[in-house]
Structure formats: structure tokens, C-alpha cells
């Protein structure tokens, strides 16, 4: 599927957390994509000399459902996120899609571990809700989402509803009431120790570059081969 240009109409806007919003849209012509791929949105006139910019956003909904859903963390003074945060139902924007090779590649006999920070959970939501994933369920799926505070957690219901997926939120600065794991996704993964099937698992990492580097260092220590690790870096 080669990326082509789409005119998109916003169908809904809502805040999912204090800093992350969800925008849904309908493309004006059929948009085919694989779970885990992203759209490249045109940010009009926001570049040097009034040129357009492009920003990438993973699709958070599965290929089989419409409207298409995005979840976007607002970045202070960021041209892309501030443009998108102003769009409301009926507004239109331009995008090119689909892009990316960060898709679920089933491997017989292997478990799967999805690891995200923040909005890096978007492609994993698309994957686990997709028909492709249901048709090629791993024996075990672990999904880790790391955020700073409880109110930054995203899409908890989506993962609860998928049979066989163990979803673990990890929080670095939780409130005193938090009874879940305190620390980073890396800390949680390390805590699994020798009981975890390190080499029998395929890893999908998405979010900030520092987390991805740390996890890859840990996986190398555990003897995990590079071809078992897939990554999508949102920013460094």
C-alpha cells in the first residue's frame, strides 16, 4: 500500500487525559492500513517561510473500524499538536497514509510483549483490537504502559477486553493510593527475572527514544536476539 493523500473530516474531539486528546476522523476515500501504521498530517504554514510541516501519528483504532482514531499528547508550543488540538467536528485536514512497518508479525510459538510510554500505546491498541491479531493470537501477550501519574493512563478498557492480554500500567510518580507497579516499564520488565521467557518472546517498543534504548540494553543482557525486537521511536 503506497501512501496517498487524503482529505479528512474530524468527527469527534475529546480529552482522554489532562494532556492527551483523541481526534477521530473520516477520510474522504477508503483508507486501507495495517494495525500499527501511522498517518502523516500536514500542518499548514507552520514551517520556515510559511511552508507546510508534516507530523506523524500512529492510528490507535483497528483497520476494520471507522472513524479512524488518533491519540495525541499536547506539546507546549508544538506546531503540530497545537494545530490538531484546535480542530473540531466538521473541520478538515490533509494527511498522507499509510506509513510504517511497525506491525504485528506473528511468529509461531513465540509470546509477545508490547511496551509503550504515553501515547506510544496507540499502535498497540490498534494491533490488539485488529482481526489480524485475533487470527494469530500469541500464547501469551504482555502489554506494559509507562506514565508518570495515574491520570495519564490511556485506553485501560481496550486492553482489558482482549482475552489473553495481560495489561500492566507502571507509574513513576504515583499517588499514595496507587496499588499497582511503581517505577518505569524497564523496572517492571527487569523485575520479571528468570521466570520470564525472555528469548521466547517478541518485543514491540513504542514511545520515547530513551525508554527504547534502555529496554534494548536490558534485552541484550537477557540474550534476546535483535530480530525479536521491533521499535517505533516517537521522539528522542
Ligand X SMILES: Cc1cc2nc3c(=O)[nH]c(=O)nc-3n(C[C@H](O)[C@H](O)[C@H](O)COP(=O)(O)OP(=O)(O)OC[C@H]3O[C@@H](n4cnc5c(N)ncnc54)[C@H](O)[C@@H]3O)c2cc1C
- Cβ of residue 223: shortest distance to ligand X, in angstroms? 29
> From CA 176, how far away is CA 165, in angstroms rounded?
27
C-alpha torsion sign, points 85, 86, 90, 93? negative
Site for ligand X in 178-217 (CB under 6 A): none
Going from the C-alpha of 91 to that of each of 39, 85, 88, the distances in angstroms are 17, 11, 6
- Closer residue to ligand X in complex, CB, 63/138: 63
- Closer residue to ligand X in complex, CB, 124/198: 124
Work out whether 56 is an interface residue with ligand X (CB under 6 A). yes
- Cβ of residue 69: shortest distance to ligand X, in angstroms? 10
Work out whether 124 is an interface residue with ligand X (CB under 6 A). no
- Closer residue to ligand X in complex, CB, 56/218: 56
Which residues on neighbouring strands pair with residue 4, listed in sequence order? 97
Asked if residues 145 and 172 have their Cβ atoms less than 8 Å apart, the reply is no
Asked if residues 147 and 182 have their Cβ atoms less than 8 Å apart, the reply is no
Which residues make up the interface to ligand X (CB under 6 A)? Answer: 38, 55-58, 71-73, 75, 78-81, 100, 118-119, 122, 232, 234-235
Amino acid at each position: 500500500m503506497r501512501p496517498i493523500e487524503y482529505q479528512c473530516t474530524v468527527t469527534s474531539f475529546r480529552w482522554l487525559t489532562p494532556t492527551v486528546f483523541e481526534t477521530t476522523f473520516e477520510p474522504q476515500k477508503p483508507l486501507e492500513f495495517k494495525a500499527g501504521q501511522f498517518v502523516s498530517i500536514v500542518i499548514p504554514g507552520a514551517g520556515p517561510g510559511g511552508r507546510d510541516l508534516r507530523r506523524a501519528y500512529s492510528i490507535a483504532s483497528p483497520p476494520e473500524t471507522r472513524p479512524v482514531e488518533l491519540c495525541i499528547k499536547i506539546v507546549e508550543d508544538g506546531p503540530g499538536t497545537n494545530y490538531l488540538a484546535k480542530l473540531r467536528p466538521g473541520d478538515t485536514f490533509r494527511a498522507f497514509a499509510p506509513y510504517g512497518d511497525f506491525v504485528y508479525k506473528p511468529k509461531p510459538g513465540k509470546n509477545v510483549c508490547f511496551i509503550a510510554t504515553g501515547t506510544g500505546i496507540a499502535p498497540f491498541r490498534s494491533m490488539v483490537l485488529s482481526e489480524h491479531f485475533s487470527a494469530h493470537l500469541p500464547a501469551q501477550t504482555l502489554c506494559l504502559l509507562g506514565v508518570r501519574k495515574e491520570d495519564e493512563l490511556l485506553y485501560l478498557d481496550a486492553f482489558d477486553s482482549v482475552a489473553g492480554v495481560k495489561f500492566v500500567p507502571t507509574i513513576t510518580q504515583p499517588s499514595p493510593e496507587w496499588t499497582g507497579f511503581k517505577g518505569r516499564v524497564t523496572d517492571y520488565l527487569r523485575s520479571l527475572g528468570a521466570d520470564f521467557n525472555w528469548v521466547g518472546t517478541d518485543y514491540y517498543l513504542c514511545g520515547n527514544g530513551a525508554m527504547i534504548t534502555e529496554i534494548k540494553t536490558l534485552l541484550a543482557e537477557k540474550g534476546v536476539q535483535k530480530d525479536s525486537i521491533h521499535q517505533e521511536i516517537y521522539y528522542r
